[in-house]
Every structure is written in structure tokens, then in C-alpha cells.
Structure 1
Amino acid sequence: MSDERAAVRVETLIDSMGRQISDESPHRPALAESFAALTRLGADHTPDDRIALAERAVFLTVLF
């Protein structure tokens, strides 16, 4: 997954959850890295899976 695609997925998730997170937040790139890892593991998502996706991403962020 490209960095740009992962960044778009982060923005989409944040917007869909109605959250506001600073552009300078270190959590944005960490979440993008987690999305890329999920894709490499074959655990991709659909937009309707946003809570499950966020939970997986947090888990991977802590794990790695």
C-alpha cells in the first residue's frame, strides 16, 4: 500500500467518525502504518468496518 493511499484511508476514517485530529499529530502516520500492515497481512477492510478497523490498527500499533 502506498503512503498516499494509507494517508487517505486515515483521513476517511477520521472524517467518518466525526473526529478532529491535528495534522501534526503523531497518531496519523502511526495509523497509516497500521493500515499498511493490515493490508500486507490480508486483513483489509470496507468503509463499514471502521470500528473493527480502528481496533485492529490500535492493536497493531501497540504490538509493533
Structure 2
Amino acid sequence: MILYIKETRTQKGLSLSELAKKSQVSKSYLSEIENGIKTNVSYVVICKLAHALGVRATELFSRE
């Protein structure tokens, strides 16, 4: 599963630390997701990240 979290985060002007704090996801876990180390990300975490980024969860899956 490819997630466009890093791209979305940088477009929104947020640092990794800022997104981690806003989403209540640990910075290390978020880094692993962004770098493709963690590929089995729960729906709850995806929703937390989407909410913190101000986008719909589906927008983190596709660039179309």
C-alpha cells in the first residue's frame, strides 16, 4: 500500500514532528510509515493522519 503522507505533509508545510503531535502518532512510527518501512497501517492511524492534515483519508492513497 502506497501512502502519500510525506508529500501531503510537505505540501501543508508541516514538519514530521508537527504532524506527529497533531495526529497523536509517534514521530518514529510516522517516519517508518513515510519511508515505507511500515506498510500495514491501521485505518485508525490513517484517519488520524488525514484529520491532522485536513484531508480525506482517501486522498492519502491516490495522487489522481
TM-score, shorter chain, exceeding 0.5: no
Higher helix share: 1
TM (normalized to structure 2)?
A: 0.31
Larger relative CO (CA 8 A, sep 6+): 1 or 2? 2
TM (normalized to structure 1)?
A: 0.31
